Structure 1
Amino acid sequence: MKGGGMAELEEAASPLPPKRVDVDAIETAVGDLLRGLGQGDKAEVMAQTPRRVAELYAQSINPGDIDIEEDFKVFDNPGLDDLILVNDVHYVSMCEHHLAPAFGIAHLGYVPDRKVAGYSKLKKGLNYLSRQPQLNERLVVQAVDFLESRLQPKGIGLILRSAHCCIALRTNAPSQEVVTVADLRGVLREDRYRQPLWSSAVAERPSFLGR
């Protein structure tokens, strides 16, 4: 899906380097939001909630002191020339349209050339990119762009499956819809690599939704 025509997915702003937040500004804005929601007469809510929400959002948008450019290390390929799969990587994102959480599971596959990456680094890269107001369609492209630039693989593919709280809030019911987006490049477009990745990704219903 790289190079698609959706203008809002082609913003110039880079997802890197680490994000900066203003907790005091968030606190003020949340206070205004609560008053707009008719909660301004609740002393305990107005005294504590704006700061709690501000700190939660600050932590969500910038989890820890991460410099992903510096932290993401790659290693020389010891001789692998077949598909590497990393399945069931859990992540949390935030719907850009409603600022509501989305819970996801990622499935990554790549055929290495000269470099490989530690599995924890793959999760760290996705976590960094997802922990901000996002669209799934943008997140999958950004994540593959980032991983492809570091690994320079023969092919790479990423499948994201997620459930979104904004759907549950608007329908007043637990969200059971699973949103799936994918970006496959290079040899991952070939059936011999594509099929194992897709089969592992959709083998069962994501566990965060319950049974």
Structure 2
Amino acid sequence: MTEFQQPHSPLPPKPVDVDVIENAIADLLRGLGQGDKSEVMAQTPRRVAELYAQTINPGDIDIEEDFKVFDNPGMQDLVLVNDVHYVSMCEHHLAPAFGIAHLGYVPDRKVAGYSKLKKGLNYLARQPQLNERLVVDAVDFLEARLQPKGIGLVLRSAHCCIALRTNAPSQEVVTVFERRGVLREEQYWQPLWQSAVAEKPSFLGR
């Protein structure tokens, strides 16, 4: 990509119909044998519909407007941003996954504010996702906007679909990563990897 090309959003906001969601949740509850519970059927379908509308691909996010980059003041070495919490939605079961991201990049001409890096990740994580797709989408997204010499991202997450099936808190940690450019070199990759896997993610407790 040249400096004159405008990067695109891989997952632009999509239309949301809260009424359709509400009716579907009401059918789901009836299918689960909960339709005779008036206190559940009265308000729960709408609450769930509004929750999903607010958290999955909300249409009021303009990531192109929100994601700003700045001229590099002279940084030539690795920038590490650790312990970025995010929530994703497993596209296989529509159950949440709680994750912590660790990002490293070596800037060229541009840098980004740390909150913007988190915004970019969460924008993509809010879609129904697979970990393997999310890490690639996120690196694509950040690389296109930062144009760094190299970039790497490690995602570590625990998945509620596992906990729901086993009726126990999930202690399994899923780790995926993507690295490009100079982050494939050990001198840059090792500091990121070691900081990412130094300890079990805190959302799982001790």
The normalised TM-score by structure 1 is 0.91
**In structure 2, what is the equivalent of residue 137 of structure 1?**
132
CA pair 190-76 structure 1, distance change in 2 beyond 3 A: same
| Correspondent of 1:117 among 102, 112, 120 | 112
Q: Is the 8 A contact 2:10 2:141 kept in 1?
A: no
Partner of 1:198: 193
Contact kept, 8 Å, 2:16 with 2:59, in 1: the verdict is: no
Question: In structure 2, which of residues 158, 161, 164 is the aligned counterpart of residue 163 of structure 1?
Answer: 158
Cα deviation, residue 66, structure 1: 1.4
CA distance in 2, matches of 1:47, 1:66: 30
1:74–1:118 CA contact under 8 A, matched in 2: yes
- Following the alignment from structure 2 to structure 1, what is the Cα–Cα distance between the partners of residues 19 and 112? 38
Secondary structure of the corresponding residue to residue 73 of structure 2:
coil
Describe how 1:53-132 pairs up with structure 2 within 5 A.
Answer: 53-63=48-58, 65-132=60-127
**Corresponding position: 1:183 with 2:178:** yes
Name the residue aligned to 1:32: 27
CA apart distance, 1:21: 1.1
Task: String of CA shifts for 1:129-151, please: whole Å, max 9, x gaps.
Answer: 00121000000000000000001
Runs of 4+ in 1 over 3 A off after TM superposition: none
Summarize deviations over 1:29-64 as a string: whole Å, max 9, x none.
Answer: 000000100111111111111001001111111357
Counterpart selection for 2:12 from 17, 28, 43: 17
What is the root-mean-square deviation of aligned Cα atoms in Å?
1.1
- Residues 165-198 of structure 1 deviation map (CA, whole Å, 9 limit, x = unaligned): 0000011111000000000000000000010000
**142, 145, 169: which one pairs with 1:174?**
169
State how many pairs are aligned: 198
Q: Which runs of 5+ in 1 are unaligned?
A: 1-13
Q: Distance in 1 between matches of 2:14 and 2:115?
A: 21
Amino acid at match of 2:110: K
Contact 1:19 1:61 in 2 (8 A): no
User: Shift in Å at residue 153 of structure 1?
Assistant: 0.4
1:137 partner letter: E
Give ranges in structure 2 of 5+ residues lacking alignment: 1-8
Q: In structure 1, give the amino acid aligned to 2:56.
A: I
Contact 1:94 1:132 in 2 (8 A): yes
